[in-house]
Amino acid sequence: MTKLAYYPGCTLKTTAKNFDDSTVASAKALGIELVEPERWNCCGTVHALAKDDVMHHLAPVRNMLRVQEMNSEGQVDSKEMITLCAMCYNTLKRSNQTFNEDSDKKQKIQDIMFKEEATYSGSVEVKHFLETLKEMGWDKVKEAVKTPLTGLKVAPYYGCLLLRPRGIGIDDTDNPRIIEDLFEALGAEVVNFAYKQKCCGSYNTVHMKEVVGDLAHKILKQAKDGGADILATACPLCEYNLGPRQEQVKVQYPSFDSIPVVYFTQLMSLAFGLGDEAMAFEANRPDPRPLLREKGLLEE
Amino acid sequence: MENNSEKITIYVMGKKHMVPEDLTIMKAMEYSGHQFTRGAGCRGGYCGACATLYRKKGSYKLEGALACQKIVEDGMYIAQIPFSPAEKKTYILDEIKPEAATILEYYPEVSRCLACNTCTKACPQDIMVMDYVQASLRGDITQAAKLSFDCISCGLCAVRCPAEIVPYNVSQLARRLYAKYIDGPSEHVLERVKEVEEGVYDQDIKELMTASKETLAERYNTREIDLNE
Amino acid sequence: MSDYISGYPESMQESLRKVAESRANRVGKQFTPMTADERHKVLEEYHPDWKMDQKRELKVGPCKGELMPHEVVDILEAHSVIKPEDIDLSNIDYDVDVLIIGAGGAGLSAAILANDNGVDPDNILIVQKLRLGDANSKMSQGGIQAADHPKDSPTLHYLDIIGGGHYYNKPELVEAMVKDGPDIIKWHEELGVLYDKLEDGTMQLAPGGGTSRRRMHSCKDYTGVEITRVLMDETINRQINYVEFTSAVEFIMDDKGQVAGAVLYDMDTHEYKIARAKSTILATGGFGRLHIQGYETTNHYGSTGDGIVMAYRAGANLMHLDSTQFHPTGSAYPEQIVGQLCTEKLRARGSQPLNIEGELFVYPLETRDVEASALIRECYGREKGITTPSGMKGVWLDTPLIDIIKGEGTIEREFAAMYRNYSKFGIDIRKEPMLVFPTLHYQNGGVEINVKCETNVPGLYVVGEVCGGVHGKNRLMGNSQLDLYVFGRRAGVVVAERAKTAEIGKLNLDHLDRYEKWLKEGDVETDRKSPILLPEYRGKKTLDHQLKLL
Ligand SMILES: Cc1cc2nc3c(=O)[nH]c(=O)nc-3n(C[C@H](O)[C@H](O)[C@H](O)COP(=O)(O)OP(=O)(O)OC[C@H]3O[C@@H](n4cnc5c(N)ncnc54)[C@H](O)[C@@H]3O)c2cc1C
Ligand code: SF4
Ligand code: SF4
């Protein structure tokens, strides 16, 4: 087992527990033990992205510091920090970059973080789990598959934060392949559709339900029109806006027919044959299980 | 007590006083003529009434302590913070759940936490305040309760927090949720309560209540002592 | 101890070395408990209560002739701080069903139960001299007793209490205690008090001085903090009225001879206020800050015995005030925390009292009065105490044994407060012992009550440390925390019932004039005034507590 530091982020511990469970389980099936730091804090998300002052870099930097500590205590095998939530990934990666590239800010951050257990050196490497999979090689993934997702038409949905800005994104901004490659390795049929990088509406979901309803409708309809059975995402906010928010879509577009939205790791768990607890489909809305049963991928 | 200690200079709210060097801030203030109405409680580090901010000579750092636990230093500037303005939200414990949503409903400002750790540095109890705030934010009620257990609500973290969070109110909610819903009641306690209600011990106790002093003494001195775990 | 910097001065190092050297041999060694005769002898010779020159007979009122410590007689033989003619009783500031004076555990429990039993939160008023909950209740470290373990029983608990109290306790009060005990723990758990538990979810129970079973429930060594803050939180949740920094100074009576409220004093604005109430619950706690016989105390800043003064002036009966509890182990060093409590649980978990030679000299879990006397004897009878730079004496309490016996980490986990407290002064109690000496801890006696918390004055209910009769002449560890909630809750129920029928007549302060007459009749000439509300520590008095020992 390779031990890698794993930063789950708040959402994976609350509303997106199914993302957390399916990730830890599928990583294990691939010989990776994801080790959560004993102490961690919110990635800093909204603040760190919206504002550029030093204070707002403390949260992300502190998380990197925890991984650095794990590293120096030998709890993990590399200086990588594995993330899942697209928002966490983006925030942490950008902050780490700022820290390493802007020596003035680095100095200020270190000054404010006086009297802490240790000083962050900038050594940690922020990674998305998908990148880890890619580096490992899709053949390895293929080897672990017990139930190929044959006949399942999956539309990969990236949203904005996984690919932007350039240099931070996990794959080519205009022509991403990474989720596609994963699903091909899992034996599914990949449906390409134009809106896979379109923004899901993000935090507007709180105040502007209709705007988000509109966007979700566009994205989902496009995927369906392209023949997709199901959407796979890597971001809890996207999952929420495209999944549970279909209720709102139906209010605005009564003829709309629902389509399941799941985390890519849930389908990995399915393909690896890891059981109900790992797949954790019961938390998804709409419920993907009828579809998966129909396709013969899930037992009655 | 004869006090031959050296005298040092302190500034209580800016006013200069000479006091023996080995006094706590609390006793030094009394030595300089203050009689506390606010700002003193248990005088033993348990109640948090005597939260104090100070700066040491030659240092720009603003530090916090309990006046009853901190010894004065030469050139110290002292101001007590006997009250920290904050509203404790009211809730019915029986009707809420131990989850992140509960914390955020009553204290939504928790999500403003910057993870700056200022609170932890301010805490005279050496509590990992930031960590318990962060744990409540992600709904880890168990961790929030355990990490915050030694909190004495002195308020120093709250006056220093740039995100204007009142950590001790948040953790009080977390601890009650944890104790009631996650830790839960002890079965043998409930059992015993039932037995008492059913009158199982009435007869024996009545007997003791009416016994003479001699009989009682006899029974007391010969009672079986079993302190094994 | 080579890499460890000792927090103790050079003069104590030799004795410390002896303690460290003999430690390994003492593991598991037990000093034999005293026989009944030995106990009696050490009490008589060394217990502060037995020093008759430190007491005198009270000369005023219905308890005239009873022996009490000088400091208590001083506040009883004193004029009221108010003059009736200065107080305008027609201007009522608060008009409620239930007035509760003092917001420690007893007062808060009464408030919650009064509310549970139908009294509107607006019809309750809690007045509190300091902040809500800044009270002795918050300071309890060791724990609370209740016989809920299968090996234990309320009957055994009864026997332990009455034997420990030297058979002076009122039987019906003890019965209430032991029967309500388990229900109190249940109630706390329902309210969200976090008790220490074992792996299997059962209570972690410790023995205590004079207990025949493990019966002590704890919340680390913050038992009082945890319970009190939960009760405070609940009181605020229910929006029960409370005013802080306001003291009651005298009761108000009515023309039917009932207590009908109290004159309040706003500590911030120095104004008097009038509270009228159908029932009044006195819950002002103890008198440690009177520094009986010059002893340092474990008590909080507000424990100045106000309650007994007010109640006595209103005609209430006092009992057992001749007996005071000295806790065997108060801090004797460092100077800054002298007098502060070193919980009995330290001994229950395995630490041993040792003299200057590092020798055992007493069974660690004798009842408190006996244990305290043995410590005083070691210092002043056998001259085997350790002298501090300020001339105080003490004996060692060998705490490092706890980690040796119970496993490393026990001290930090179970005695977090104590460990933290001493660390601030450079002493690591995992590695070095504590220096201890008896300290004034608990007011054994007080205002006489019955099981309904009634006194001989209608309308006046008394709960908590200020009442007398529950513990006889010696309280066992953990039973006070229990009695607060037992009688606090009972009083809440009783006053809620009374609120339905009670009627208040015309208000007066005639009892204060009557008290002046009693003073005259007793030939008391004094300019003392009471209640004193706050102890006097200003200026040089800060440094001024000297034991009037032996
Ligand atoms: C350090 C310490 C440790 C202890 N440990 C234990 C233990 O482990 N187990 C155990 O069973 N017992 C223990 N005790 C004893 C027990 O905690 C107390 O006896 C008990 O808490 C008293 O509770 P109370 O509510 O009666 O009074 P308190 O808790 O003292 O509350 C009384 C309140 O009334 C206020 N007050 C006083 N006068 C006035 C006035 N005139 N007007 C308005 N308000 C007033 C006071 O300021 C105070 O806040 C300990 C006591 C101390 C001091
Ligand atoms: S957590 Fe805050 S309120 Fe609690 S003791 Fe620490 S500084 Fe004081
Ligand atoms: S001081 Fe406030 S913002 Fe900073 S870590 Fe603590 S709770 Fe968060």
CATH number assigned to the domain comprising residue A170: 3.40.50.11810
**From the CA of A279, how far away is ligand 1's center (Å)?**
55
Task: Let me know if residue A299 belongs to a domain.
Answer: no
In Å, how far is C464's CA from the nearest CA of chain B? 17
Domain end position, chosen among A101, A130, A159? A130
Least confident residue range of A127-141, A236-250, B172-186: A236-250
* Segment A245-254 mean pLDDT: 93
C-alpha–C-alpha distance, residues C462 and C485, integer Å: 12
B123 in Cβ contact with B64 (< 8 Å): yes
- Report domain extents, chain C: 10-46+325-440, 80-323+444-511
Residues C1-43: tens digit of each pLDDT:
334 567 899 999 999 999 999 999 999 888 999 998 999 999 9
The beta-strand segments (E) located in chain B are 7-12, 15-20, 51-55, 63-66, 76-80
The answer to whether residues A282 and A166 belong to one domain is: yes
Nearest C-alpha in A relative to B114: A59
| Model ipTM value | 0.96
Q: For residue A90, is it within any domain?
A: yes
Residue B35 has pLDDT above 60, yes or no: yes
Both A16 and A54 in a single domain?
yes
Which chains does B contact via 3+ CB–CB distances below 8 A? Answer: A, C
Q: Is the dihedral of CA C374, C376, C381, C385 positive or negative?
A: positive
Q: Which of A39, A40, A58 sits opposite B116 (nearest CB)?
A: A58
Q: Is the domain of A27 the same as that of A59? A: yes
- For residue C271, give the 3-state DSSP assignment: coil
Pairing of strands B63-66, B51-55: antiparallel
Chain C (39-78) residues lying within 8 Å, Cβ to Cβ, of chain B: none
Residue type, C531: P
Residues A24 and A126 both lie in one domain:
yes
DSSP strand pairing (C393-398 vs C434-443)? antiparallel
What is the three-state SS of C15-74?
HHHHHHHHHHHHCCCCCCCCCHHHHHHHHHHHCHHHCHHHEEECCCCCCCCCEEEHHHHH
Same CATH topology for C10-46+325-440 and C80-323+444-511?
no
Is position A94 within any domain? yes
Tens-place pLDDT, residues B105-128 = 999 999 999 999 999 999 999 999
In the listed set A110, A130, A150, which residue is the last one of a domain according to the structure?
A130
**Nearest-by-CA chain B residue for C414:** B150
What average pLDDT does the segment B30-55 reach?
Answer: 95
> Is the domain of A113 the same as that of A162?
no
Do residue A112 and residue A7 come from a single domain? yes
Q: Can you list the pairs that B208-216 forms with residues at least 24 positions away whose Cβ atoms lie under 8 Å?
A: B208/C155, B208/C158, B208/C159, B208/C162, B208/C171, B209/C171, B209/C172, B209/C174, B209/C175, B210/C171, B213/C167, B216/C159, B216/C162, B216/C163, B216/C167
Q: Which fold does the domain C80-323+444-511 belong to in CATH?
A: FAD/NAD(P)-binding domain (3.50.50)
* Contact list, B31 vs chain C (CB under 8 Å): 538-540, 542-543
Q: Summarize pLDDT for C182-219 with one digit per residue, the tens.
A: 999 999 999 999 999 999 999 999 988 889 999 999 99
pLDDT by residue (tens digit) across A132-148?
A: 999 999 999 999 999 99
Number of domains composing chain A: 2
Q: C345: phi > 0 → left, psi -120 to 50 → alpha, else beta; which?
A: alpha
User: Is the C-alpha dihedral spanning C65, C68, C74, C75 positive or negative?
Assistant: negative
Within a domain: residue A56? yes
CB contact under 8 A, C300 and B47: yes
Predicted confidence (pLDDT) per residue in C421-460, tens digit: 899 889 999 999 999 999 999 998 999 999 999 999 999 9
Could you say which of A130, A152, A182 is where a domain stops?
A130
Tell me the CATH number at A56: 1.20.1050.140
CA of B120 to the centre of ligand 2 (A): 8
Pocket test residue of C94, C136, C480 for ligand 1, highest count of atoms within 8 A of CB? C136
Angle between helices C36-46 and C368-376 (to 10 degrees): 60
Are residue A96 and residue A187 in the same domain, yes or no?
no
Residue C420 has a CB neighbour count (10 Å cut-off) of 18
Cα–Cα distance, A216 to A246 (Å, whole number) = 8
What is the reported pLDDT for C1?
36
Q: What percent of chain C has pLDDT over 90?
A: 85
Pocket of ligand 3, candidates B123, B130, B169, B171: which has the most ligand atoms within 8 Å of its Cβ, to mutate? Answer: B130
pLDDT at C117 over 80: yes
> Sign of dihedral through CA atoms B203, B209, B215, B216?
positive
Angstroms from A10 CA to nearest CA on chain B: 5
Residue B1 has pLDDT above 80, yes or no: no
Residue A115 sits in which domain range?
Answer: 2-130
* pLDDT at site A56: 85
Give the residue ranges of DSSP H helices in B32-110: 100-106
Lowest mean pLDDT of A262-271, C340-349, C526-535, name the range: C340-349
Asked whether residue A151 falls in the same domain as residue A286, the answer is yes
Question: What's this model's pTM, rounded to 2 decimal places?
Answer: 0.91
Do A110 and A206 share a domain, yes or no?
no
Distance from the alpha carbon of residue C462 to the mean position of ligand 1, in angstroms: 13
Q: Per-residue pLDDT averaged across C134-138, rounded? A: 97
Q: Do A116 and A249 fall within a single domain? A: no
Identify the three-state secondary structure at position A136. helix
Evaluate: CB of B23 within 6 angstroms of ligand 2. Answer: no
B113 Cβ inside 6 Å of ligand 3: yes
Judge if the beta carbon of residue B69 lies within 6 A of ligand 2: no
Q: Which chain B residues touch A113 with a CB distance below 8 Å?
A: 117
Residues 6+ apart with CB under 8 A from A145: A185, A186, A187, A271, A272
CA distances C159 to B196, C213, C470, Å, are 17, 11, 13
Domain-located, residue A68: yes
B49 close to B116: Cβ distance less than 8 angstroms: no
pLDDT at A111: 87
Beta-strand pair A2-7/A32-35: parallel
Per-residue pLDDT band for A46 (boundaries 50, 70, 90) equals: low
Is there an atom of ligand 2 within 6 Å of B153 CB?
yes
- Among C219, C225, C303, pick the best mutation site for testing chain B contact (most B Cβ within 10 A): C225
Residue B164 in contact with ligand 3 by CB distance below 6 A? no
CA–CA distance, C291 with C294 (Å, rounded to integer) = 5
Same domain, A24 and A114: yes
What's the pLDDT at C26? 94
C537 touches B at CB < 8 Å: yes
Assign residue A162 a region (left: φ > 0; alpha: ψ between -120 and 50; beta: otherwise).
Answer: alpha
Give me chain C's average pLDDT, please.
94
Write out chain A residues lying below 8 Å of B138, CB-based. 10, 13-14, 42
CA C142 – CA C480 distance, rounded (Å) = 11
User: Which residues of chain B neighbour C336 with C-beta distances below 8 Å?
Assistant: 22-24, 27, 71
In this model, does residue A50 exceed pLDDT 60?
no
Instruction: Give the rounded percent of residues in chain A with a pLDDT score beyond 70.
Output: 97
Residue A52 has pLDDT above 90, yes or no: no
Q: Within this chain, do residues A260 and A183 fall inside the same structural domain, yes or no?
A: yes
What is the reported pLDDT for C473? 73
Confidence of residue B2 (pLDDT cuts 50, 70, 90): very low
Question: What digits encode the pLDDT tens for the residues A26-38?
Answer: 999 999 999 999 9
Exposed, middle or buried: residue C82 (CB in 10 Å: 0-12, 13-18, 19+)? middle
A300 part of a folded domain: no
Residue A222 located in a structural domain: yes
pLDDT at A161: 87
Question: Is the predicted pLDDT of residue A49 greater than 80, yes or no?
Answer: no
CA-closest residue to ligand 2 atom 1: B151
More confident residue, A118 or C378: C378
Domain C10-46+325-440 in this protein, CATH class? alpha beta
> Under a CB-based contact definition with an 8 Å cutoff, are residues A71 and A82 in contact?
no
DSSP 8-state symbol, A192:
P
Nearest to B37 among C213, C233, C245 (CB): C245
CA-closest candidate to residue A284, choices A241, A251, A249, A239 = A239
Which residues neighbour C84 within 8 Å (Cβ) at sequence distance 6 or greater?
C509, C510, C512, C513
Q: pLDDT at position B5, please?
A: 76
Q: Is the CB of B151 under 6 A from ligand 2?
A: yes
Instruction: Name the one residue in this structure whose structure tokens are 């404010």.
Output: A112
pLDDT of residue C3: 47
CB distance C308 to C72 below 8 Å: yes
**Exactly one of C215, C320, C327, C441 is catalytic; which is it?**
C327
From B94's Cα to the closest Cα of chain A, the distance in A is 22
Q: Is the pLDDT of residue C546 over 50?
A: no
Q: Is B115 within 8 Å of A58 when comparing Cβ atoms?
A: yes
Task: Flag whether residue C234 sits within 8 Å of chain B, measured between CB atoms.
Answer: yes
Q: Domains of chain B (ranges plus CATH)?
A: 7-80 (3.10.20.30), 93-183 (1.10.1060.10), 187-221 (no CATH)
What was the pLDDT predicted at C4? Answer: 57
